[in-house]
Amino acid sequence: MTEGQDAAGAENQTPAPPLTINGQFIKDFSFEAPHVPEIFADMASGDGPSIGISVDVKATQLHAEMYEVDLILNVEAKTEEKPAFLVEILYCGIVTLNVPEEHLKPMLFIEVPRHLFPFARAVVAGITRDAGFPPLMIAPIDFVEIYQQRMAEAEAKA
C-alpha cells in the first residue's frame, strides 16, 4: 500500500472543506475626529452621540475557486449635527470555496462576511477607544437580510 491509499487500493482523500479563509486584512482604513477636543465637552453634557452605520459586501473572483470578499463599514457618530468621529474600514478576506454553484453567492455574501465581521468590529472598537471615545461595539449584523435586500433590488431592476 502506498501513502494515501486504503486496503482496496483506492485513493483515500479527505474532501475539501466548503470554506477556507486563506487570509484576512485591512485594505483601507480611515478615522477622523474633526472636533476634538471640544466634542468631548459636548458629549459630556448631552446624551452621547447618535451612531449611523452602513454596511456593504463585495466579492471578486481571483481565480478558480478563490475569491476576495470585501466587508465595508462606514460609521458616523454625531452630537446634534456635529460629527464626533467617522470611521471607514474596508476589511477583506481571501477565501477558497468548494461549494456547488447555487451556494456560491450565499457563501460569498453571507457566510464569509459573518466570519470577517468580528475582526472588523474589533478594529473599530480599538480605534474609537484609542481616540479617547468609549469603544464602539457594533451590534451583530444580519448578513442574510442584507443579501436578501440586494437580491430583491437586483430582481426589481431586471
Predicted local distance difference test score (pLDDT) of residue 11: 62
Residue 12 pLDDT > 80, yes or no? no
For residues 134-140, give the mean pLDDT: 96
Residue 128 pLDDT > 70, yes or no? yes
Q: Side chain identity at 150, as an amino acid letter? A: R
Predicted local distance difference test score (pLDDT) of residue 65: 94
Predicted local distance difference test score (pLDDT) of residue 136: 96
Predicted local distance difference test score (pLDDT) of residue 46: 75
Beta-strand ranges (E) seen in 8-138 are: 19-32, 50-63, 66-79, 82-97
User: How far is residue 7 from each of residues 1, 14, 15, 19, measured CA to CA in Å?
Assistant: 7, 16, 19, 30
Burial (CB < 10 A; 0-12, 13-18, 19+), residue 143, is buried
Judge contact between 17 and 98, C-beta under 8 A: yes
Judge contact between 91 and 141, C-beta under 8 A: no
Mean pLDDT over the full length of the chain = 91
For residues 84-110, give the mean pLDDT: 97
**pLDDT range class, residue 1, cuts 50, 70, 90:** very low
Question: Where is mean pLDDT largest: 14-18, 44-48, 66-70, 98-102?
Answer: 66-70
Provide the β-strand partners of residue 103.
none
Predicted local distance difference test score (pLDDT) of residue 6: 54
Distance CA 24, CA 12 (A): 31
Q: Which of the residue ranges 42-46, 87-91, 123-127 would you say has the lowest mean pLDDT? A: 42-46
Choose among 72, 83, 80: nearest CA to 124: 72
**pLDDT range class, residue 9, cuts 50, 70, 90:** low
For residues 7-30, give the mean pLDDT: 85
Domains identified in the chain and CATH numbers: 19-133 (3.10.420.10)
Residue 115 pLDDT > 70, yes or no? yes
